[in-house]
Amino acid sequence: MSKILNNNGFGSLIEVIITSVIFVIATFGIISTVSMLKPKESDSSKKLEAAYVAKGVLDELRGSVDAASWNTVGSPLYCNGISSSTYYRTGTFSSGGTYNITYVVTPDATGARKVDVTISY
């Protein structure tokens, strides 16, 4: 009887078990590799939110550009024309956690100002 089953394309029970074990091991390896490739969701969301906060600071500073208040001491873009000025802000993400923003306003020879923003969380 077993010769008839083998001639019709059926394998023995041992072949089926070995094939199943190999399939399970390969599937487990693929699934574990894919799960390690997925980025940490909370870290990427904080990074994205930090980028939006920094963009908001730059937009606010862009709105502060005014010829009348450009060189007043209270202006967020004030620097004495010779050296750079450093400003600090802190805040809380909507998803939790705090951040610190540092922006440096640096004058150049033409009278323009460069702003470098750094955000740490």
The full set of domain ranges for the chain reads 2-37, 41-120
Residue 1: what pLDDT?
A: 46
Residue 107 has pLDDT above 50, yes or no: yes
Tell which wins on pLDDT, 118 or 78: 118
Statement: the pTM of the whole predicted model exceeds 0.75: no
Residue 59 has pLDDT above 60, yes or no: yes
Cα 51 to chain centroid distance, Å, stands at 8
3-class secondary-structure state, position 10: coil
CA-wise closest residue to 100 among 120, 116, 115: 120
Least confident of 12-26, 35-49, 51-65: 35-49
- DSSP letter for each residue of 45-79: HHHHHHHHHHHHHHHHHHHT--TTTTT-TTSTT--
Q: Mean pLDDT, to the nearest integer, of 79-95?
A: 78
Tell which wins on pLDDT, 24 or 6: 24
Work out the pLDDT band at 22, boundaries 50, 70, 90.
Answer: very high
Beta pairing partners, 103: 87, 117
